[in-house]
Structure 1
Amino acid sequence: MRPPNLCVVTATVHHQTPPGAPRPAPGPAADEGLARRLKALACTAPLHDLDVRKANLAGEYTVYSMAEVALASIDLVTLNMDFDTGADHEQVVARLLPRVAAQAPRRPAAEHERVARWVLENLINVGSVDRGFRAVYGTFGPDGAYVRRDYDFKLVEEVPGPDGGVYLRTTDEAVNVLVGALDTDVASAQIAAEVKLEVLIERGRLADAQLAAEQARYRTVQYAESLRRALEATRRNVRAVDWLRAVPDLIAEALDHVADRYRHENAILTNIRRVRDEAEAVDHRTGEHKRRAAELVDIVKDCIRRHTQLQSRLLEAGPLFRAEQDRQAFAAPPARAGTDLYGQLLGPLLPLPVERASKVTDAFFASGTGLRTPAAARVCDLVDGLLTPPLEREHLGALMPEPDLVATPDDSRFSDEQMDTALHLLDLPPDAPRRLSGLLAEARRSDPELPYLLALLAVHAASPPVGVAYRQGEERLLFAVDDGTPLDDPEFGGADLIVGTATLDAAAMAAERAS
């Protein structure tokens, strides 16, 4: 599997200023503006990383500009996703192929499709655990100490659709990367884009006006995404969303925004149409001017359509909250807890004879498998089945081929004898725990590889599964405790754990299994 595409992976570390050292002077490094710029820079890192890692692909892919393809992918997903559903994966790949093919027209179509899918999968970050990116940036705390913080973000994510399919949606970070206005307020950015658009149209700079109109449309999509996430979280858990202040303020602000944008965009649309109708295609420059005006008309019409859809969702937000509040408040609690298959079924049944255990298993699987819906027979299939003559079969069935069995090689690092020796060293009396350093030194005297196995078993014992051992009837449990003592060992570092064994209550376990 391909390693996850992470920008910077590290743990959060706090660096305290030493006593007596001069504290950093307050300045630009201590404000929130620097943190926003660092986050903005981190959002562009996965796009630059694509051009760095394209050399790892099997083949000659240096001719492709992967960051350009990634921006086009974000553009296509953003413009093709709707309020309820996202963009179709295959449709995005199909629309991305002409741009990829334009970079290398002599390459085969299969290679173009591979590049498009590779870029889109890297934007989704397929292969990582949470399919997200992580960056690290530093800020100054209230006490003047320098603190490193993790910033987790996503660019394109896969979401379920209402029809059961999987669709693509761009996040706020992806839209910010696309329009070049990173980590800004949605409403203020939309107003600035509309004012800029109106001024550019009045001055006749339609090429720049088209870019401003596209930026305004991206901001509209981002505004709808904020509302969609709030409504989706409400459907899952109404208590997780602040419907007392945050969401009502968002709805009121969005309704004012939609009403203001309606008036503004209709005025812009009238102005663009006038420019388009007055332009006469006399020469090439005038024809290009008229074409730009026609494209601006389509973009502003799409903005008005998105505002109409956003307004309808805003009006439905209040009734949806009240309906979800009633549904979740009066929902019946679960009738019973889940079944522990080992502790409640397998453990008590193993000592029983087969005739007694089969009655329990038959009752369990009859209730646990659920109902099976019979398939509806079609008339044509029924007629074919009745008219088809029966086939003569062998009495014992067809001859089964002999399988070719290959012995699985034993690639384990430690042998069974080493495991027995390590377990013997860890078989400590309950009242005599030992330090990990002493156990490692004793293991090193008998076998130079044994300390690695012993350290691995001790680390696993730092969080012992007490509940599992209790249900399985274990009488003794290995544990390890960190008391803050550093480990003094030539091969290992960390904490010098206290390793010991604990005795579990066998009588209570027997009583619980009997019950």
Structure 2
Amino acid sequence: MTGSAGDRAGGDLHGRWKALQLLQPVFELVNRGAPRAGFDHRRYDLPQLALRLIDFVVLNQASMEGSVSPAAIVDHVTLAARRMSPDDEARPWTKVAKLVLMTLLNDGRPHEVLWREPVVNGEEWSEAIPFRFQLLTVTEEIEGIAVKATDQAILIFLQALNTDLADQALALKIMVEIQMSAKEFDKALATARQATRTAQALSASLREKLDDTRRDIRSVDWAGAMPTWLAEVLGQVGQQLDKDRQLRDLARRAGEDPAAAGVCRLIEETVGRGQDVWVRLELFLQQAIPVFLAAQEVQRFQPHGLAAAIDLGAQVLTPALFADDPEFEALVEVLIAGTSPPHVLPQWGLDDLLRQLLREPTVREMRSPDVDDPGELRDTAQDSIPDDIAVCATEILLAAAHSPARLSGILAAGREAGDRVEEPVRLLDILWGAALYVFVNSTEAVSDEQPARPDLAAAIAALVAVEDGTPLEDPRFSGPDLLLASPLAFDRIDAASTADLMGAE
């Protein structure tokens, strides 16, 4: 293994180790907190309750209100614990909920774990590197104390898929379109729900960054990463909403078939909920720059007077209290008289009393709220994957299933086949979205057999994607140059590599 490959492998290992450590509070809850809690913890699935608590906080954080109180969290988890063990005579459901919440909060302190790097024989032991993180934080809101989810909790909400959320949402929506065109409506419904969860996680993450900016502007990288990320997400909002409108129209037309009407209605409702999340996310994006400017003015540009440069206790009060000079004693008496004046009852004059009693009642005029016209958000576009693009993309992806191909090669094949379709750019989008879906959707089972029928959904289902660190060189797309093939083809490559290695030995 070369040095660069070894460093890259070590970085990937460290990243996966961090993702694994995010579940450390859950294991601490099961192994340490539960046996000492004073109730029969074996009747309750505490890890599931912890995940339900994180989901509840993230979903509330993705809404316009953006916060949830500890009492609401306890009520939600208490109800889940009661449904989990309704026949528990001790009725410790509230105690279970409070235990889960307090373990994840950790008294407001970060959880800390240590990364220890192994060394070669004869070398000195390397120092342990601390990794600190928090899943939940407590903040002060106008309504009172609120609980927020951090980016680490949002990763757990998304099954620890550390990918670009906006790109992942778009890839999932393209896959919904492909699955509906293939009449695989059950798979399309599951993919649509995952796309909605991804949009909710993106909204919650943005809300968390804006709250961090209001508290401390230095905690967010407004000089580099944050403006670039905002511009990229804002540029995709219109594309996301257009794709949502296309999917809802496709679901309505597919629902005309009585056999698929129920599933298509659920798909339309799920996509509609995701569409509302993107509309609210656009409002958050429009508020980002004003929030940054206001925080910058308050935290950095606020003028400070002379009092900010004087330590009243160390430089004024302490020397005055312990001095023997009569002038300082007189100064102490003046300070005490000024800081603690006697309590005097208010003195009401007759004219002031009459003015208060006879004043006219004031009515606060409130402007009517601006309500968006639903028609502006629900215009339908008559669009789906054309037949010529579906046939051409299927042929290119089937060729990758027979023989491993890079994403750059697949895109090059799509450009060469551009004269066969009416929309060459649309063909490239379908190929790129299919490759990205295969890469991020690693939980879905993949068949080793070749597809029985040459349609687009079956061609994608037969592929797996591997990232080996090669960057994608393409004028339109960026990211890793994925290697795509069927699992059987990868097995053949591994077997050939092993035979060559044994022959060389």
Which of the five TM-score ranges fits, normalised by the shorter chain? 0.5 to 0.7
- Quick one: which amino acid aligns to residue 132 of structure 1? P
Is 1:253 equivalent to 2:225 in the alignment?
A: no
What is the deviation of 1:92?
2.6
What is the deviation of 1:307?
1.0
The structure 2 residue matched to 1:56, chosen from 33, 36, 43, is 36
Is 1:39 equivalent to 2:18 in the alignment?
A: yes
The structure 2 residue matched to 1:222, chosen from 195, 201, 226, is 201
Output the CA distance in 2 between the equivalents of 1:361 and 1:211. 76
Is 1:194 equivalent to 2:173 in the alignment?
A: yes
What is the deviation of 1:173?
1.4
Output the CA distance in 1 between the equivalents of 2:340 and 2:313. 12
Asked whether the equivalents of residues 148 and 208 of structure 2 are also in contact (C-alpha less than 8 Å), the reply is no
Asked whether the equivalents of residues 54 and 153 of structure 2 are also in contact (C-alpha less than 8 Å), the reply is yes
Partner of 2:272: 301
Partner of 1:333: 304
* CA gap 1:149/1:296 in 2 versus in 1, 3 angstroms: farther
What is the deviation of 1:73?
0.9
Output the CA distance in 1 between the equivalents of 2:300 and 2:138. 30
Output the CA distance in 2 between the equivalents of 1:308 and 1:107. 44
* CA gap 1:155/1:229 in 2 versus in 1, 3 angstroms: closer
What is the deviation of 1:38?
0.5
Partner of 1:311: 282
Partner of 1:453: none
After TM superposition, the structure 1 = structure 2 runs for residues 381-420 of structure 1, keeping only pairs within 5 Å, are none
- Quick one: which amino acid aligns to residue 349 of structure 1? L
What is the deviation of 1:41?
0.7
Unpaired runs of 5+ residues, structure 1, are 1-22, 281-285, 380-515
3-state SS of 1:62 partner: helix
After TM superposition, the structure 1 = structure 2 runs for residues 354-433 of structure 1, keeping only pairs within 5 Å, are 357=329, 360-364=332-336, 366-367=338-339
Q: Calculate the aligned-residue CA RMSD, in Å.
A: 4.1
What is the deviation of 1:67?
0.1
The structure 1 residue matched to 2:99, chosen from 99, 113, 118, is 118
What is the deviation of 1:153?
1.4
* CA gap 1:139/1:206 in 2 versus in 1, 3 angstroms: farther
Output the CA distance in 1 between the equivalents of 2:334 and 2:302. 32
Q: Percent identity over the alignment?
A: 23
Output the CA distance in 2 between the equivalents of 1:245 and 1:139. 31
Partner of 2:78: 97
* CA gap 1:239/1:90 in 2 versus in 1, 3 angstroms: closer
What is the deviation of 1:42?
0.5
Between 1:341-350 and 1:94-103, the stretch displaced more is 341-350
Residues 233-266 of structure 1: CA deviation (Å, up to 9, x unaligned):
5545667655454333222201122112111222
* CA gap 1:226/1:98 in 2 versus in 1, 3 angstroms: closer
Output the CA distance in 1 between the equivalents of 2:157 and 2:196. 12
Residues 98-127 of structure 1: CA deviation (Å, up to 9, x unaligned):
32112211125851111112112211122x
Asked whether the equivalents of residues 189 and 219 of structure 1 are also in contact (C-alpha less than 8 Å), the reply is yes
Partner of 2:115: 137
Asked whether the equivalents of residues 190 and 219 of structure 1 are also in contact (C-alpha less than 8 Å), the reply is yes
Partner of 2:138: 158
Partner of 1:87: 68
Q: Which structure: larger Rg?
A: 1
Unpaired runs of 5+ residues, structure 2, are 354-505
What is the deviation of 1:132?
1.9
Is 1:182 equivalent to 2:161 in the alignment?
A: yes
3-state SS of 1:70 partner: helix
Partner of 2:414: none
What is the deviation of 1:44?
1.6
Output the CA distance in 2 between the equivalents of 1:245 and 1:24. 30
| TM-score (norm. length: structure 1) | 0.56
Output the CA distance in 2 between the equivalents of 1:226 and 1:350. 54
Partner of 1:167: 146
Output the CA distance in 2 between the equivalents of 1:296 and 1:375. 70
- Which structure has more relative contact order (CA 8 Å, sep 6+)? It is 2
Asked whether the equivalents of residues 213 and 295 of structure 2 are also in contact (C-alpha less than 8 Å), the reply is yes
Asked whether the equivalents of residues 155 and 173 of structure 1 are also in contact (C-alpha less than 8 Å), the reply is yes
Q: Whose helix fraction is larger, Structure 1's or Structure 2's?
A: 2
3-state SS of 1:87 partner: coil
The structure 1 residue matched to 2:46, chosen from 44, 53, 66, is 66
What is the deviation of 1:201?
4.0
Output the CA distance in 1 between the equivalents of 2:336 and 2:101. 46
* CA gap 1:79/1:330 in 2 versus in 1, 3 angstroms: closer
